[in-house]
Amino acid sequence: MNTEQLLTLDAWQAVILLTRRELKSEDLVRACLERITERESEIHAFAHLDPDAALATARALDAGPVRGLLHGLPLGVKDLFDTSEFDTTYGSSVYAGYRPRTDASPVALCREAGAVVLGKTVSTEFAYFTPGPTRNPHNTAHTPGGSSSGSAAAVADHMLPLALGTQTAGSIIRPAAYCGVVGFKPSLGRVASGGVKSLSQTMDIVGGFGRSVRDVGLLGAVLTGDKRLSGWSEAALPRIGLFQTPSWPQADADVQHAWEQAARILSAQAKDCEDVVTPDNFADLIQLQKNVMTFEVARALSHERIHHRDRLSAPLNNLLEDGMAMTGARHAEQLSQVADWRQSIDALFENHDVLLTPSTTGIAPEGTATGDPLFCRSWSILGLPSVHLPFTTGQKGLPVGLQLVGRFGQDHHLLAVAQWVHERLTR
């Protein structure tokens, strides 16, 4: 295979060839490094790279036994994850030159499964809204989203087949949408997060990016230890709930067009495809998510807040001030509300296998601002699994798609339905 052919392989296709020894990991890693050399000066997806170490790891994998589900696959790791072989800066100058002694749990799991960690991908400052240097590979005048900006952009630009990300508000689904890749956020609590810089114990979740549903299924199986995420069979005809949510008026013409296209196609082929009745007070979840996140981020970043405020951006300092002004008693009340919502939301899945809902308000905005996570906040506070599916384009040829949301703990079923849906939306 030539370099172009290698770079267009989906991760699941590449891993079949790698495990059969029909493809060398070293060749795939070299192809990715060539692409990075060609494009990184425009895209700025990486915070740290070590080509020599990656090639040495690939050669060792080629010479040894098959390691696991990610054998020989190049992997990008968001710079929010501790890594023993790379500096970890969390998107902030506060941690310039910091080298952890150990890998974060998700990184260790991926290495154990045979992944080749190619480098650290750019994160926004402490995974909040202040952007890094990454640009959207479809149009560099536009944002790639945040906070997992480098991971989404690198996968979209064929620098990598897979990359790790995190989401507290919308940091997997939104950059996946803006960059036109598949992004997967598992159910809350399914992935060990030791060594991942914490923002909110109530919402932080590790997931990732690929160019197909099968790709993120492989990654999800490694992260969760649940092989059903990569080994599911063809889904039965699904029951799809069409849920625009109370934020629908904020969706622009591109999203509305994608919605109409998807609803038309799926209504003709799914077992059921019908509108979802909005639960009472569902709109309140957006403010609830903001409040819980603000309180918890202020305390998670206590060291930085106390000792390095002069090196933090103004937006982050403002968030920390707001969070410290909130009382613990009020936070406890809000956590009780979260628990009630997480229990009651299951009723939405009594008549629907998955919910189809917007991912973003529109295409990637022009400039560096990372965009609005409006359509992701509710699902983040609820802890439900979700997957973004790109399938069309909007203004300026920029990607547009929608997300599917699944029942808590039914990640494997969500991905099976997502594969079924994505095949029909991209035909």
Q: Collapse the DSSP code of 296 into the 3-class scheme (helix H, G, I; strand E, B; otherwise coil) and give the result.
A: helix
Alpha carbons 418 and 212: distance in angstroms, whole number: 10
Residue with tokens 């799926």: 266
Return the closest-CA partner of residue 70 out of 172, 220, 196: 220
Residue located via tokens 């709109």: 283
3-class DSSP assignment, residue 247? coil
Q: What are phi and psi of 199, to 5 degrees?
A: -115, -45
Choose the catalytic residue: 92, 105, 123, 147.
147
* Distance, C-alpha 314 to centroid of its chain: 26
Residue 70: helix, strand or coil by DSSP? coil
Do the Cβ atoms of 198 and 166 come closer than 8 Å?
no
Among residues 25, 92, 151, 171, the one annotated as catalytic is 171
Sheet with 46-49, side-by-side order of all strands: 46-49, 116-121, 74-78, 162-167, 205-210, 182-185, 386-393, 399-406, 354-358, 239-242, 272-275
What letter does residue 326 receive in the DSSP assignment?
S
265 burial class (0-12, 13-18, 19+ CB within 10 angstroms)?
Answer: middle
Closest CA to 323 of 168, 200, 422, 203: 200
In the chain, what is the straight-line distance between the N-terminal and C-terminal CA atoms, in Å? Answer: 26
How far, in Å, CA of 349 to CA of 345, rounded? 8
The residues pairing with 237 across neighbouring beta strands, listed in sequence order, are none
Contact criterion met (CB below 8 Å) for 117 and 85: yes
Burial of 345 per CB tally in 10 Å (0-12, 13-18, 19+):
buried
Residue type for position 193: S
Strand pairing class (162-167; 205-210): antiparallel
Which member of 78, 120, 185, 197 is catalytic? 78
78 is catalytic: yes
Indicate which residues carry an active-site annotation.
Answer: 78, 147, 171
